Amino acid sequence: MESRYAITRQLLNEVGPLSKEEQEWVFQCRRDPNRLGFCYQLIFVKVFNRFPQQEPFEIIPEILNFVSSQINIKSSTGLAVMLVLYSTTH
């Protein structure tokens, strides 16, 4: 999956790390898919100052990988989870 945005690791390291309060929000979610989806949207908003497009769902691999490492979910598993979640809501 190729991204149309040039998102660098440096940018993600500057704006993306979760604060303690944000970590608490993320880990209030019960399961990995919920944590992943919530954290993905949280970091997406930090980077772009907007929510991801819903139709079709906007997945940016650089953010997904960054989020996966922040909350200790394998990125390949994370992508699969997000795609399954997307397909079950449409």
pLDDT in tens, 32-90: 888 888 899 999 999 999 999 888 888 888 898 898 888 888 766 556 666 655 555 55
Query: What confidence score (pLDDT) does residue 34 get?
Result: 84
Rg (CA), the chain: 12
Residue 2 has pLDDT above 60, yes or no: no
Query: What confidence score (pLDDT) does residue 22 get?
Result: 93
What is the reported pTM? 0.78
Distance CA 36, CA 72 (A): 10
Distance CA 7, CA 9 (A): 7
CA atoms within 13 A on the CB side of 37: 15
**Residue the block writes with tokens 């397909």:** 87
Residue 1 has pLDDT above 50, yes or no: no
Query: What confidence score (pLDDT) does residue 76 get?
Result: 62
